[in-house]
Amino acid sequence: TRYKLLLQIVLGLIIGAMMYLNLGIDIIHIPFFGVIHFGIWFIPLAALLVVTFANAVNITDGMDGLAPGLLMISLFGFLLLSMSILDTPLSIFIALWLGGLIAFLYFNVFPARLFMGDVGAMAFGAAFATVGLLTGKVIALIIIGLPFLVDGFSSLIQILGVKILHRRLLPIAPLHYYLLKIGWAEPKIVQRAWLVGIMLVIFGIWLAII
């Protein structure tokens, strides 16, 4: 696990450095305040987001259709944002990614016949964070990707509780398993998560354009 995390950090730093040095990207759009230039500090910020979303999407990928469905909804939001700033290469990339993801989701919904696995989920999470960084809409990325972050954070709380306090802080983690434990059916959890994802995409897009 340590080596996996170290590799993710290195990859995140490489992605951030390529954006900053090769593409000259160091901006973050803050709603109501405008664009802020982070300079070289953009590199560790990019690494943090890449590592966070890589693990958050992987943790969320615990139920049939949950992670890929939320990712599909989120990417539709970033497709609209990339089109609004006339970033054609990024728009094409997201559109192609969506095409493959929708085809995969057809076989991944309950009961699943295909599975993403750690490699696919982590790669998709890192790519999702990269898309948000390329648009400069990091606040929108956090809002739109909030379902992943909440699920991942619930798992992190549980891990820290066991390692530091030597006890579980939550009955079970991540969140989607807790909902399953209290009696929600798996398709119900996934469908409700998709609805939350749709609302957050709408809110995230609104924040990105003001």
The pLDDT score that the predictor gives to residue 103 is 95
Helix (H, G, I), strand (E, B) or coil at 30: strand
- Give yes or no for residue 32 having a pLDDT over 90: no
Distance CA(132)–CA(79), nearest Å, equals 10
Query: How does the average pLDDT of the chain come out, rounded?
Result: 94
Residues contacting 205, CB < 8 A, separation 6+: 77, 80, 81, 140, 144
The mean pLDDT value for 130-145 works out to 95
Q: Of all helices (H) and strands (E), which one includes residue 34?
A: strand 34-37
Mean pLDDT, range 92-102, rounded to an integer: 97
Residue range 58-66: average pLDDT? Answer: 94
Q: Give me 206's structure tokens.
A: 């609104």
Say if residue 139's pLDDT is above 80: yes
119, exposed or middle or buried, with CB in 10 Å at 0-12, 13-18, 19+?
A: exposed
pTM of the model: 0.94
Euclidean distance between CA atoms 75 and 190, whole angstroms: 17
Looking at residue 132, its pLDDT comes to 96
Instruction: Report how far apart, in Å, the C-alpha atoms of 80 and of each of 76, 128, 135 are.
Output: 6, 14, 11
DSSP state of 32: T
Separation of alpha carbons 123 and 87, rounded Å:
22
Does residue 1 surpass a pLDDT of 80?
Answer: no
- Separation between Cα atoms, residue 210 and residue 33, nearest integer Å: 9
